[in-house]
């Protein structure tokens, strides 16, 4: 199946006379005839459902669709993108371990890594996505367990050189984890470029309607944990908390990582999505391939308009030929990047705020990537916890306005921007 067909049909195959749409199995628990039958599930001897904190059929069907879209072997849904990135890293890096991360990442992920996971004993080294080979090499330590980056960083819109970072990660015997939220699998499939694990905030384009908060973790099944067994004891030695199962042996390269994340992390942290929420996500996924090209087309028109406007200091959109990441974006995302454009309003912080107050079609929201156009001033909102140096490292300047172009008429959006700029 091509990706368009997967968006509509993957993950759920109803049998004769069964519901055409994915049923919402809104049940915490599942009934068994014997304790022995249920016991086999607890021992991971049989697959099946017993408690929705760990797994639920509705959520699993939607996870299977996302795995198919990314070209992975297994996936799990989480209750948010934050939980997805936490699980993706913590599944293989614990206290005393180290991770190399791009510095140009979502503010919430930066905080998770630099503050909260640091308190848990996981150490991060942040590198520019455009660092030299020497700088990248110097970031690795003997206890490095993973490399992390975002395909298109939110909100800096830097484009991650997936192939290069995958090569460096693999040379050090560790996997590359890529947050593919902004590009979506419609525009980029990181596994095709060497990434091993993909994460998503499904809250964004995958849902696409601002109706659901959720996340996903997808395994490519390509990383050979056993070949680097000493680095990943959680996958390659018996888990005493799960009846001595060795995930990489029992579930193989394609299943070990997600099974471990489900059996340990979801069991213990419980960041599980509701079946109702997974159902809403699936409705969004059914039209992802139709919506993404329109988001990109409109964003390009808006970026081209802004680039010519005298009251705009600069425009950052990786789809613009003038953009520093244009060539890299063409390589990894030949059909388009995303619907988010950032730009600086001449006059800095205050001019940007005044401009946003005048907008009528675009609303001020922390959100991005839904059907309704919205905009944000990151330096005074999402990124306000960062120091000036960290802001610069993350590619966020004080005058930056981030606009997420929705599915309205591009002409209406441009007229709205024009009238707002006229008033300042
Ligand atoms: C929004 C976002 C997240 C966090 O996702 P939530 O669903 O809000 O928890 C992570 N990564 C990226 C790139 C995002 O845009």
Residues 392-398, mean pLDDT to the nearest whole number:
71
Distance (Å) from CA 122 to ligand 1 centroid: 20
The torsion angle over the Cα atoms of residues 61, 338, 182 and 99, rounded to 10 degrees, is: 140
DSSP 306-372: HHH-TTEEEEE-TTSTTSTTHHHHHHH-TT---SEEEEEETTHHHHHHHHHHH-SSSEE-S--SSSS
Percent of all residues in the chain with a pLDDT value above 70, rounded to a whole number: 99
Instruction: With cut-offs at 50, 70 and 90, classify the pLDDT of residue 366.
Output: confident
Is the per-residue pLDDT at 392 higher than 90? no
Instruction: With cut-offs at 50, 70 and 90, classify the pLDDT of residue 385.
Output: confident
Q: Give 163's contacts (C-beta < 8 A, 6+ positions apart).
A: 193, 194
pLDDT digits (tens, 9 = 90+) for 111-143: 999 999 999 999 999 999 999 999 999 999 999
Tell me phi and psi for residue 327, to 5 degrees: -65, -40
Percent of all residues in the chain with a pLDDT value above 90, rounded to a whole number: 86
pLDDT of residue 255: 97
Q: What is the mean pLDDT of the chain?
A: 95
Distance (Å) from CA 104 to ligand 1 centroid: 13
Which H or E element spans position 163? helix 162-171
Is the per-residue pLDDT at 369 higher than 70? yes
Q: State if residue 421 touches ligand 1 by the CB under 6 angstroms criterion.
A: no
pLDDT digits (tens, 9 = 90+) for 84-101: 999 999 999 999 999 999
Q: Is 3-283 a domain of CATH 3.30.360.10?
A: no
pLDDT digits (tens, 9 = 90+) for 302-315: 999 999 999 999 99
Distance (Å) from CA 80 to ligand 1 centroid: 7
pLDDT digits (tens, 9 = 90+) for 271-291: 999 999 999 999 999 999 999
Q: State if residue 277 touches ligand 1 by the CB under 6 angstroms criterion.
A: no
Is the per-residue pLDDT at 162 higher than 70? yes
- Judge whether 3-283 and 292-422 match in fold: no
pLDDT of residue 397: 78
Q: State if residue 180 touches ligand 1 by the CB under 6 angstroms criterion.
A: no
Q: Where are the domains of the chain?
A: 3-283, 292-422
Q: Ligand 1 pocket check: which of 154, 213, 216, 376 to mutate, most ligand atoms within 8 Å of Cβ?
A: 154
CATH of domain 292-422: 3.90.1150.10
Tokens encoding 243: 């009846």
Long-range contacts, stretch 125-130, CB < 8 angstroms, 24+ apart: 125/98, 125/99, 125/100, 125/101, 126/101, 126/102, 126/393, 127/100, 127/101, 127/102, 127/103, 128/102, 128/103, 128/104, 128/393, 129/102, 129/103, 129/104, 129/153, 129/158, 129/159, 129/160, 129/161, 130/158
Measured by CA distance, the residue closest to atom 2 of ligand 1 is 201
Q: Ligand 1 pocket check: which of 78, 79, 80, 82 to mutate, most ligand atoms within 8 Å of Cβ?
A: 82
Instruction: With cut-offs at 50, 70 and 90, classify the pLDDT of residue 395.
Output: low
Is the per-residue pLDDT at 230 higher than 80? yes
pLDDT of residue 261: 98
Residues 17-29, mean pLDDT to the nearest whole number:
97
Distance (Å) from CA 78 to ligand 1 centroid: 12
């Amino acid at each position: 199946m091509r990706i368009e067909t997967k968006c509509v049909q993957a993950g759920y195959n109803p049998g004769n006379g069964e519901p055409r749409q994915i049923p919402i199995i809104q049940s915490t628990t599942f009934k068994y005839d014997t304790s022995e039958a249920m016991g086999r599930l607890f021992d991971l001897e049989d697959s099946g459902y017993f408690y929705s904190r760990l797994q639920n059929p509705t959520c699993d069907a939607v996870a299977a669709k996302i795995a198919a879209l990314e070209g992975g072997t297994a996936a799990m849904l989480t209750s948010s993108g934050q939980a997805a990135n936490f699980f993706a890293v913590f599944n293989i890096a614990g206290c005393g371990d180290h991770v190399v991360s791009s510095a140009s990442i979502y503010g919430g992920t930066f905080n998770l890594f630099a503050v909260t996971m640091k308190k848990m004993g996981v150490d991060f080294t942040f590198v520019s996505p455009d660092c030299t080979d020497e700088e990248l090499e110097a970031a690795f330590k003997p206890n490095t367990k993973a490399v992390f980056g975002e395909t298109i960083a939110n909100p800096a819109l830097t484009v991650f050189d997936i192939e290069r970072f995958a090569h460096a990660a693999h040379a050090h015997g560790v996997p590359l984890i890529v947050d593919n939220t902004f590009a979506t699998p419609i525009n980029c499939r990181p596994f095709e470029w060497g990434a091993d694990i993909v994460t998503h905030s499904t809250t964004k384009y995958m849902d696409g309607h601002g109706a659901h908060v959720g996340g996903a973790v997808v395994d490519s099944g390509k990383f050979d944990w056993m070949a680097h067994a000493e680095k990943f004891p959680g996958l390659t030695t018996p888990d005493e908390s799960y009846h001595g199962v060795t995930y990489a042996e029992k579930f193989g390269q394609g299943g070990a990582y997600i099974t471990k994340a489900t059996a340990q992390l979801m069991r213990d942290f419980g960041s599980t999505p509701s079946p109702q929420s997974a159902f809403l996500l699936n409705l969004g996924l059914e039209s992802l391939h139709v919506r993404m090209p329109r988001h990109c087309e409109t964003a390009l028109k808006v970026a081209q308009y802004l680039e010519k406007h005298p009251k705009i200091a600069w425009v950052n959109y990786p789809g613009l030929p003038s953009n520093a990441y244009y060539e890299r974006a063409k390589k990894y995302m030949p059909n388009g990047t995303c619907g988010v454009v950032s730009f600086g309003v001449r006059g800095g912080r205050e001019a940007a705020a005044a401009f946003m107050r005048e907008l009528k079609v675009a609303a001020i929201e922390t959100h991005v990537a839904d059907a309704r156009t919205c905009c944000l001033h990151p330096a005074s909102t999402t990124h306000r916890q960062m120091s000036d140096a960290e802001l610069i490292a993350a590619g966020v300047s004080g005058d930056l306005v981030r606009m997420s172009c929705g599915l309205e008429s591009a002409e209406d959006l441009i007229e709205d921007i024009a009238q707002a700029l006229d008033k300042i």
